[in-house]
Amino acid sequence: MSENNSKILLIEPHYLPPVAWMKLLESRDRICLDISSSFVKASYRNRCHILSPNGVLHLSIPLQHKHDERKTVGNTKISYEMNWQKNHWMTLTSCYRRSAYFEYFEDLIAPLYHKKFETLLELNMAALKVVFTILKLKLEITFTEQYLEKGVDGYDDCRDLIKPKIYPENTNFEPYNQVFSDRFPFFENLSIIDAIFNKGKFELNEI
Q: What is the pLDDT of residues 138-168, one digit of tens each?
A: 999 999 999 999 989 999 999 999 999 899 9
| pLDDT, tens digit (0-9, with 9 covering 90-100), for 176-194 | 999 999 999 999 999 999 9
CA 102 – CA 109 distance, rounded (Å)? 10
| Residue % of the chain over a pLDDT of 70 | 97
**Residues comprising the chain, all counted:** 207
pTM of the complete model:
0.94
Residue ranges covered by each domain of the chain: 4-206
**Alpha-carbon span 48 to 98, nearest angstrom:** 20
Q: Give dist(CA 198, CA 179) in Å, integer.
A: 7
Q: Averaged over 53-69, what is the pLDDT? A: 90
Per-residue confidence (pLDDT) for residue 135, from 0 to 100: 97
Phi, psi for 80 (deg, rounded to 5)? -120, 25
What integer best gives the mean pLDDT of the chain?
A: 94
Flag the least confident range among 95-99, 106-110, 167-171. Answer: 167-171
150: Cα within 13 Å, side-chain hemisphere:
4
The whole-number average pLDDT for the span 76-84 is 97
Nearest-CA neighbor of 51 among 200, 174, 177, 163?
A: 177
Tens of pLDDT along 130-144?
999 999 999 999 999
Output 67 or 95, whichever has higher pLDDT. 95
Number of H helices, E strands in the chain: 5, 6
Indicate whether 3 pLDDT > 70.
no
Q: Which amino acid is at 78?
A: I
